[in-house]
Amino acid sequence: MCRRCRSGRVSFVVTVKRDADTRGTHMTSLTTAPERAVSVQRRTRLLLSCGMIAGLLFPVLSFGQAFTRSGFDLRRHALSALTLGDLGWLQFVAFVGTGLLALAFAVGLWRALRPGRAGTAGPVLVGVYGVAMVGGGIFVPDPALGWPPGAPAGLPATASTGSILHTVCGAAAFLSLIAAGLLFARRFAGQGRRGWAVYSAAGAVLAFVLTALPWSEGSASIRFAVGAVIISGWLVALSWRARQDLA
């Protein structure tokens, strides 16, 4: 009788303990799931914020130098030429920093938009822009048109490999964000956001026109600078919009 009681008591205790452990595990999973979701959303918002910084970094550093570096003339010299000279490292930071931040922003877009419209192609295009900007900082243009000080007054007879690759990267950066602008214009139109759709499409078309016109000394560098401001501003706006939609 005692042995049976002890056996029954032990069995009861073990059963109660197992039930308690099961309930504890279940409660832990219930409490950690929302916390995990909040943590993921917080990281996504941080990645999306990188788009705003990327859109501001390049124009701020570029124009800050364009108006302060002796001998640089925005009417003759492209912003990318600021990679040359003693302070060329500043423009290197502008290119590479913007590119890396754009890549982080692309990851945030991918996490925030998928599986919706432009959820894959949009982040890919922004990622291409990021890679192209990094390349634009690594490969530099040839000295020309008197910049940096001491450089030949005209254009070089033949372009170096680095200069050609810099041009390719610059074209890829512009075209990828122009395509992204058109893509997101369609997304915004599908959401009924007419203002955002018009802004994205108009910015993309204007940037394309400014950069596609034939090169001419005295206007080309200014047109490219304005185009850079347009696509950079759109990147900031897209980052802000994506963050707001995630909230």
Positive or negative: CA dihedral 190, 194, 196, 198: positive
Rounded distance between C-alpha atoms, residue 247 and residue 239, angstroms: 13
Position 216 scores a pLDDT of 67
Please give the model's pTM, rounded to 2 decimal places: 0.84
Determine the Cα angle at 79 with ends 94 and 155, to 5°: 135
> For residue range 180-213, what is the model confidence (pLDDT) as tens digits?
999 999 999 999 999 999 999 999 999 999 988 8
In this structure, how many other beta carbons lie within 10 angstroms of the beta carbon of residue 105?
Answer: 28
Work out the burial of residue 222: count CB atoms within 10 Å of its CB; fewer than 13 is exposed, 13-18 middle, 19 or more buried.
middle
Q: What is the distance, to the nearest Å, from the Cα of residue 65 to the centroid of all Cα atoms in its chain?
A: 22
Please report, for the chain, the start and end positions of each structural domain, with discontinuous segments joined by +: 28-246
* Residue 172 predicted with pLDDT over 70: yes
Instruction: Identify the residue with better confidence: 24 or 39.
Output: 39
Q: Could you report the per-residue pLDDT of 51-80, keeping only the tens digit for each?
A: 999 999 999 999 999 999 999 999 999 999
